[in-house]
């Protein structure tokens, strides 16, 4: 029987948690129980702003509370495993931000804890809920641009927060940002990745503001992912460009190129399909926040109805394996079979 009200805990009340809480507020059967952040002031302000019943700084304390049924895990990635396992041990369901974890062993630890305790466990790869993801899959599977497809995605910029450069924080841009593409491409190609390679550098070594980070992750990386379907994803990412380079002069590209045409744009933008005969069709961009509402709603429904979550721990682990495979290839110079 569906539970009348779900008590929500948010652990890590920073940037992305705002998207989660907006999703939770949409659901009449969700109660904002406790906001937890290691920074007491941040937790207090957040709890007040959103109307949580309590605030605290210790996630173990938050997850042991009787009035909590589930948790949005929105801490830096290095903490996702400990918070998830703690939640599972307390019988609380988990929706965990991407990247699921920074090692495959940690992914396994999370999956095992969820299986052992029978909690619902979902990874918040919200691009799954973009209309553009479904449209790209539909166009490619219907042969609109032929097959195989080579997708090219490139993104450069500057991020001055050490956690985004720290191998043990968010894992660097190939793990933190590109994980979105690794999840979406699996859905778009309806196929699993089989082989990866990468080359890269660590531009952050030259940045004064990152000198205290013990282990910097490569931050200028080019990766290639081959799918069982024969399609290929190529990605270029950098979060360590000189800050004075303005956003409009940064690299921003996403194109799906096939033998019968191409699609300009991607999951987060408008799509322009150009067919072999030169005819064109456009598909408008989707509303970003709706994807978060949908992921939260589907997770909550799975909890209420004891149903399946749409994105499992195994899905999250698969995307982490692509990112780590690329980084391994950067380090060794060898390609990696998954
Ligand atoms: N889905 C997306 O599009 C998207 C976008 C941004 C970030 N993210 C992911 O969300 C996660 C968080 O990123 P963010 O940008 O919100 O970071 P953030 O730094 O803005 O927020 C993280 C919060 O976690 C808190 N925290 C750290 N250690 C804690 C602990 N032990 N207990 C409780 N709180 C703790 C920090 O104080 C901070 O307030 C990362 O995994 C990131 O990759 C996803």
**pLDDT tens readout for residues 106-124:** 999 999 999 999 999 999 9
* Judgement on whether residues 242 and 278 belong to the same structural domain of the protein: yes
277 CB neighbour count, 10 Å cutoff: 7
20: containing domain: 6-127+289-310
Nearest CA to ligand 1 atom 39: 14
* Judgement on whether residues 163 and 76 belong to the same structural domain of the protein: no
Q: How far is CA 82 from the centre of its chain?
A: 18
**pLDDT tens readout for residues 150-185:** 999 999 999 989 999 999 999 999 999 999 999 999
Nearest CA to ligand 1 atom 36: 12
* Judgement on whether residues 200 and 263 belong to the same structural domain of the protein: yes
Nearest CA to ligand 1 atom 5: 16
> Would residue 59 count as lying in a domain?
yes
> Would residue 317 count as lying in a domain?
no
* Judgement on whether residues 31 and 118 belong to the same structural domain of the protein: yes
> Would residue 12 count as lying in a domain?
yes
> Would residue 315 count as lying in a domain?
no
* Judgement on whether residues 115 and 135 belong to the same structural domain of the protein: no
> Would residue 115 count as lying in a domain?
yes
**pLDDT tens readout for residues 245-292:** 999 999 999 999 999 999 999 999 999 999 999 999 999 999 889 999
The DSSP secondary structure of 181-194, one letter per residue, reads HHHHHHHHHTS-EE
Nearest CA to ligand 1 atom 6: 16
Nearest CA to ligand 1 atom 4: 16
**Which residues does 324 contact at the CB level (< 8 Å), separation at least 6?**
103, 104, 175
- Give phi and psi for 269, each to the nearest 5: -140, 180
CATH number of the domain where residue 163 is located: 3.30.360.10
> Would residue 54 count as lying in a domain?
yes
Going from the Cα of 74 to the center of ligand 1, the distance in angstroms, rounded, reads 5
* Judgement on whether residues 136 and 190 belong to the same structural domain of the protein: yes
- Is this structure's pTM higher than 0.85? yes
Number of domains in the chain: 2
* Judgement on whether residues 153 and 18 belong to the same structural domain of the protein: no
CATH number of the domain where residue 70 is located: 3.40.50.720
Atom of ligand 1 nearest to the CA of 80: 41
Ligand 1-lining residues (CB < 6 angstroms): 11-17, 36-39, 42, 59, 74-77, 79, 97-98, 126, 170, 176
> Would residue 1 count as lying in a domain?
no
- Closest to 140 (Cα-Cα) out of 230, 236, 237: 230
């Amino acid at each position: 029987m569906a539970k009348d009200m779900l008590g929500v805990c948010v652990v890590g009340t920073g940037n992305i948690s705002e998207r989660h809480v907006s999703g939770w507020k949409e659901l009449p059967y969700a109660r904002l129980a406790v906001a937890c952040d290691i920074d007491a002031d941040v937790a207090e302000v957040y709890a007040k702003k959103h109307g949580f019943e309590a605030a605290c700084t210790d996630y173990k304390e938050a997850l042991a509370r009787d009035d909590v049924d589930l948790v949005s895990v929105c801490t830096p990635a290095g903490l996702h495993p400990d918070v998830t396992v703690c939640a599972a041990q307390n019988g609380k369901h988990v929706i965990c931000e991407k990247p699921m974890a920074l090692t495959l062993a940690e992914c396994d630890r999370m999956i095992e804890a969820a299986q052992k305790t029978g909690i619902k466990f979902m990874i918040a790869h919200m691009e799954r809920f973009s209309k553009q993801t479904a449209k790209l899959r539909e166009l490619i599977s219907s042969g609109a641009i032929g097959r195989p497809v080579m997708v090219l995605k490139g993104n450069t910029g500057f991020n001055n927060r050490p956690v985004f450069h720290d191998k043990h924080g968010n894992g660097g841009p190939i793990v933190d940002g590109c994980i979105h593409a690794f999840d979406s491409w699996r859905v778009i190609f309806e196929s699993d990745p089989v082989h990866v390679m990468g080359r890269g550098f660590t531009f952050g070594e030259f940045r004064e503001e990152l000198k205290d980070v013990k282990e910097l992750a490569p931050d200028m990386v080019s990766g290639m992912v081959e799918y069982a379907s024969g399609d290929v994803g190529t990605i270029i990412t950098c979060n360590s460009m000189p800050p004075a380079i303005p956003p409009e002069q940064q690299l921003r590209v996403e194109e799906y190129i096939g033998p019968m045409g191409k699609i300009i744009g991607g999951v987060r933008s408008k799509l322009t399909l150009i067919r072999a005969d030169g005819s064109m069709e456009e598909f408008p961009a989707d509303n970003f926040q709706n994807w978060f509402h949908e992921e939260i709603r589907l997770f909550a429904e799975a909890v209420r109805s004891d149903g399946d979550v749409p994105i499992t721990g195994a899905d999250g682990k698969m995307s982490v394996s692509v990112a780590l495979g690329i980084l391994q290839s950067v380090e060794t110079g060898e390609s990696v079979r998954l």
